[in-house]
A and B are shown apart, each in its own frame.
Chain A
Amino acid sequence: MLVSWNWLTQYVALDMNREELENRLAMSGLNHEGTESVFDDLAIDLEVTSNRPDCLGHIGVAREIAVLYDLPISFPNPNPTAAGPPADSEFTVTIETPELCPRYTARIIRGVKIGESPQWMQDQLRTVFLPVSRDWKPVNNIVDITNYVLMECGQPLHAFDLAKLQGQQIKIREAADGEEFEAIDHHVYKLSPGMCVIADANRPVAIAGIMGGADSEVGDDTVDILIESAAFSSMATRSTSRALNLHSPSSYRFERALDPEGIEWAANRACELILEHGGGTLDEGLIDVGATNWKPEPVVMRLSQIERILGISISVEEVKRILLALGNTENSSDKSSITITPPTWRRDLMREADLLEEIARIHGYEKIPEDVGVPMAASFKSDWDRIAAKLRTTMTAVGFDESLTASVVPNAWTQTYSPWSDKAPLRTISPMLKGADALRTSLVPSLLEVRRINQSLANPDVELFETAKIYLPQEQGLPREQWTLGITSGQSFYHLKGVIETILSSLKVNGRFTIESTEQDLLHTDYSASLRLNGEHFGFIGEVDAAGLKTFSLRSPASIAEIRMDLLVQNSTLIPQHSQLSSFPAITRDLNIVVAESVRWDALETSVLSAMDADILEDITYQETYRDPERDGTDMKRVLFTVKLRRNDQTMTNEEADKVREKIVSAIESQLDGKLLG
């Protein structure tokens, strides 16, 4: 809201320093955005929050200044002389849609002389309009006066050329579907039901509260005029304005809760100024249809609440002074409370809490201390936070950078990889970013897109992870939001599997981690698998296949993995327990086993475990696999591994170790048909 310094002085004396005034206004609710000189005047830009439409006019701002500086204030009290016949004798107004337009008033002035508005008015309008629109020019006395009154009190007005209103009537109705309307800006707007129009007998002549029509506006040949001053639904004004992408000073104000008393005041003020600067004869009375049916209710302000909420005490006298200066009227008061009725222009004052804010902002927030002793309280770090922090430490230690990517992705991405859900992803009505309207069901496509971006930047090493939610649709209600760790690497399946195993070891995850080959979209048929923890679906891993690389325009190999973070949190050990370490030396035995290709390492491992007491086996280390088809036959492989043995009670002898080794060999022989080499 731009206000003119000179304009304000009509209502309140501005003897204070300008910067100090700007600062005090900012500190009491009208944030100062800037000040600009416009000829010999100043345009002060104040930000007005949506609860304060009373400050969308100079009078409202002047009132604030008067309260802050405890100054007297004087406003015009318009009382135009009506010498014509009753306004409603030849003209009718009907409201068909009271929910869109609760009240409509019209005044008629006949025989006006169109000309320039007075210089002082042009100057003041120039101050508030020129900074916004550099090609702004005054129009004529009638239009300038309606704009002047708008900027004076905040109530929008519209002047029609009475001769151009067909059928001697105005009808406020809903727009018909597809109805076309040419506004003063000479654009043609296509209207639709739900929008409110001001119509004459045959056609719309204004979009209610937003803009008048090109063919009913006041021009040089206008003689008789109709001044509209009305109340329109704020919601309908907002949605119409949005739908048409047509915003005006008028619509901006109707979107807020305006002073119902302002309707008549503004109409009178405009008539008075028109009679003074444009001549003519005012018809008797106001055509007044409908009612706003709102009046302010008394509010009780309990003095005890001031200290309870604000934390400071303010004297009763000061509380009263502030409330009354703001225009509230005192109904009654006693030792503990004051009952007031708010003014009609402050529809935001309905409750004690609202009055508290008024008292606080006028009294001054700087008086609230910033060094009170807030009691101490224990805070708790959740297991979740602890695990997530450890997880990030591990991931960065193994060389992965953390990335953050958008939760909403192009729908096509969700088709490429969605291992957690086969339901269609949830969609947003409007896209978040260009073409992105699907709530992702996997982090993998986003991470592959990041690989592509880095590839385009010629970054060679792209090792990334992200911890974020994925959104898995359910049969009904809110989706399941699954915290997920996504990883992408330029390295192999085994490298990535090693990363996951490192995470499990770093978080001391309890339970059985198993892996099984599965075919998945996007991934290489063989080099991919699904992961389980204690039998539950835990995650997915694999190398992206050639088609997948092509889908994401990737030129070099990529692998991905995705795991559920909730299972990590459930199964991690946050407080590890010490166990007594054996003080006796360990002894190792290497085993070189020939088995069929179909025997997986996990089967061998299980077999080894079955062959001995778990408490003497410290470690099984896989070494390598090689093949010698000439000696062993086809479809056979040699797997070399080492077992590390240790006893708690004494040194393990070579003989004991050899016995264990024999047991292992026979277990493998009987269970897996494998045999020891050598």
Chain B
Amino acid sequence: MSNLSKEWAHSSLRGMMLIREFEETADKLSLRGKIPGGIHNSSGQEAVAVGVLSALDPLDVIATTHRSHHHTLAKGFSAREVMAELFTKSTGVSRGRGGSMHLGDFHRGHFGGNGIVGAGVGIAMGAALGIQQRGDAKVSVGFVGDGGVNTGRTWEAINMAVIWKLPLIVIIDNNQYAVETFVDRVTGGGDIAKRGEGFGLPSYTINGQDVVEVNEYTAKARQRALAGEGPTIINALTYRYYGHNVGEKGQYRTQDEILDWKTNRDPIDLFIARATSEGLITDSEVAALRDDVKKEVEDAVDFAEKSPQPDLNSILVDVDSGLLGGK
């Protein structure tokens, strides 16, 4: 008997499969020059995104990093609108203004990806302060990487969230490499979660390849935040299968290491094994989900290719409050 619901299992598995299919497809399109400006592929990190977002309410806020496709899809944005944004089309999440690194929509609680290392937590902390000031029953989640946790701004934001008991959850999407630098070589004190003790907030290092574990810790952190008890840090250990950016010639990791993660710690395979053994899903249902996400991504590419570029006359839209003629 499983303590997971069948519905949750299917939806989480589908969510992870969609991200994988999306990223594998986007990677190829980027290498072929169809997507301008390159992408940061999140293949391998699906359980962090789906585990966190499945524990949140749709109105909760997230702020993410340069690697944000997985968070955005897991938040419920459609493959169509995310792919269209990668193609910088007017039908994209950010109306074609942002591209891969600037997916976001404030009205749907997505405060954006950004190109500044460690900025996600600061943005999320500001959103958490806003939530507290307004008395909303929401939380704010800031994603940061293992490189970003060694920036000062991240800890300034965490400190403020602690003293003001802000409804903030810090998720370290810890794929262990800051571009080509291994986390242990540049991180004082070993386990990053130990830093939380010094700042006075609960802080956990967890298995980021286990979507259930990520979900449970996030749900607990959300309850704490809603109860007015303040922020939590979750350091989710994961791994990216591709380079930092598309087409990177990575020579800082061994092929054996990459293969080990892909073979023995793949978040999708691990969850299929668990869900199958607990009687939550059958082989044919898994196959049907694979077909389903493949079709969804094919449709998304078709949609993105056929969508128009933003109209030049709309260049001031969303830029100002109306002073310069924007809307």
Q: Do A and B bind each other?
A: no
Interface residues of A (CB under 8 A from B): none
